[in-house]
Structure 1
């Protein structure tokens, strides 16, 4: 059921370009402002250039995904949609989360607000949300809902659903990276072996979904067969590369001494937030 061309609508409003561009610029500017504040508060420790470069790389990937020429192409071609999905849901989240924005907030917020943020990280809802299985279901499991039901076709015809889909890709992708390999504190983060198992399940699920899309099994995507198969290939190979990068980040950010402490990286009290490496 993927042989019909979708009527995506050729005319796009200038706001569809201006608003994402403004949002990405504000996102990057806010991070740079906080990084500068962190450097002024603690000139000796400062804030790592690698963290800043990583976050700005994530912002740049978001800009590539949401602005021309990719955005209009993604609106009318399933291959473009899948390339956009890879950037928004996998590559940009990896770079953004490795920028350690929560640690930066803890360093720059007033003490009372930093304690409040730490309290949120310790809360029961945060623990449930930060569970690896929750992150896996929200990031990878929802792909089956998107492509095996009429939802994808609906998002292509309804601008609000289209932007909600982008928001879900970005937020669920950031959640998954944070749980698996984020340098920021997380509630009850399991040990590295558990996170590697969850990442392995994500790799297998991603590969299975892309293969089903390529073969035309179970899917409900209204697009020419060539586009669907091309999109599936982008998903298969692009997902593999992103997940290998995530595995490398997990190994690179692993601190064995901390990992042995009950197998978890715990949220830091605001009083010691400044001791986190930049």
Structure 2
């Protein structure tokens, strides 16, 4: 199997892993280009809004940028090289790009920003904005963002990938490896999109239902990590015989990968739960303000009616 890296040399000749070595810049052309394009387009959209006098929350560009940087962090450093031969490092990549990066990207509300930044094509015409709106309302989007689809997909991305020959096949080529990372990112986006509820989408369940959707997939995630930790022999062919230069044991490294998968499932859950509670609180505040305004309007109408009644009594007296 070819474990060639995309950095300065062959991945087979990598020295023992250290955090310093893992953070060295080793760009993947696909993800580096994609990350730069995403940042440029997002920045252009924000500037377009502000030039016409529209506001955009300052936290959203920060969160989106962190999301893009988190993708680049695991794909454009030596982590990507070490991830080809170390299961534990690969699992860090998988967890970040499928569970942390999507949350940060979605909190940046890129779909909302795009809809606000793109100009309308005019009545009877279809431009990029109209096509995006049509896609958001399409049957395809209703299917791929429905929990009946997203939760099994989220679970299958672990079990069906790692516990079948699919993983070894994909790791056998550069295209397969990149495709797998893109898959991890897309699965995370479609899973967390309805739950986060920041951008418009076909499904907008209540806050309690969103929390249930969030926790529905997490036990399976934890079980996957525990299965790797409890295994008594290497389960993934790609990592069964690590290069001698790394100085690691395959089973020990697999157990570490399982621990990372198990522990990491808690972090996104807490982040999403905090975001949902904050959104719920803000929603309740908006509802209360609308109720207060409605009550004020009703009170004004009652006062006007009472004044008119007094005025009519005074007119009769005259």
Counterpart in 2 of 1:30?
A: 41
Structure-to-structure mapping, 1:4-153, within 5 angstroms: 8-12=2-6, 17-41=28-52, 43=53, 45-112=54-121, 113=127, 114-153=129-168
Q: Contact 2:5/2:81 (CA < 8 Å) preserved in 1?
A: no
Mark the CA change 1:218 to 1:127 in structure 2 (over 3 Å): closer, same or farther: farther
Which of 275, 278, 282 aligns to 1:249? It is 275
Is 1:163 matched with 2:182? no
- What does residue range 156-235 of structure 1 map to in structure 2 within 5 Å? 156-216=171-231, 220-222=235-237, 223=239, 224-235=250-261
Pair 218,229 (structure 1): closer, same or farther in 2 beyond 3 Å: closer
Is the contact between residue 97 and residue 183 of structure 1 (CA under 8 Å) also seen in structure 2? yes
Poorly superposed stretches of 4+, deviation over 3 Å: 13-16, 217-220, 256-259
Q: Post-superposition shift, 1:139?
A: 2.3
1:151-186 superposed Cα distances (whole Å, 9 cap, x missing partner): 122222122221111111011101111111130011
Quote the Cα distance in structure 1 between the aligned partners of 2:40 and 2:82: 28
Question: Is residue 140–residue 202 contact of structure 1 (8 Å, CA) maintained in 2?
Answer: yes
**Structure 2 length normalisation: TM-score?**
0.73
CA-CA distance at 1:258 after TM superposition: 8.8
C-alpha distance in structure 1 between counterparts of 2:205 and 2:57, whole Å: 26
Q: Contact 1:212–1:218 at 8 Å: present in 2 too?
A: no
Superposition TM-score, scaled by structure 1 size: 0.83
Whole-angstrom distance in 1 between the partners of 2:229 and 2:271: 24
Q: Deviations over 1:131-166 (max 9, x none)?
A: 122121222332110111111222221222211111
Distance 2:226 2:172 in 1: 25
Quote the RMSD (CA, aligned, Å).
Answer: 2.3
Which protein is bigger by CA-based radius of gyration? 2
Once the two structures are superposed, residues 110-132 of structure 1 have per-residue CA deviations (whole angstroms, 9 ceiling, x without a partner) of 21343332222112111111112
Superposed CA deviations along residues 196-248 of structure 1, whole A, max 9, x for unmatched, are 11211111111111111222289841231111110011111112111211222
Structure 1: where are the runs of 5+ without partners? 1-6, 260-278
Please report how far the alpha carbon of residue 66 of structure 1 lies from its aligned counterpart in structure 2 after TM superposition: 0.4
Change in 2 beyond 3 A, CA 1:257/1:138:
farther
1:238 corresponds in structure 2 to 264
User: Distance in 1 between the 2:136 and 2:63 partners?
Assistant: 23
* Alignment gaps of 5+ in structure 2: 9-25, 122-126, 240-249, 288-318
Count of residue correspondences: 251
Structure 2 distance, partners of 1:236, 1:9, is 26
Distance 1:116 1:256, change over 3 A: farther
Asked if the contact 1:212–1:219 (Cα under 8 Å) also holds between the matched residues in 2, the reply is: no
**Is the 2:42–2:110 contact (alpha carbons within 8 Å) kept by the matching residues of 1?**
yes
Cα distance 1:60–1:8, how it changes in 2: closer, same or farther (>3 A)?
same
Deviates more, 1:171-180 or 1:249-258: 249-258
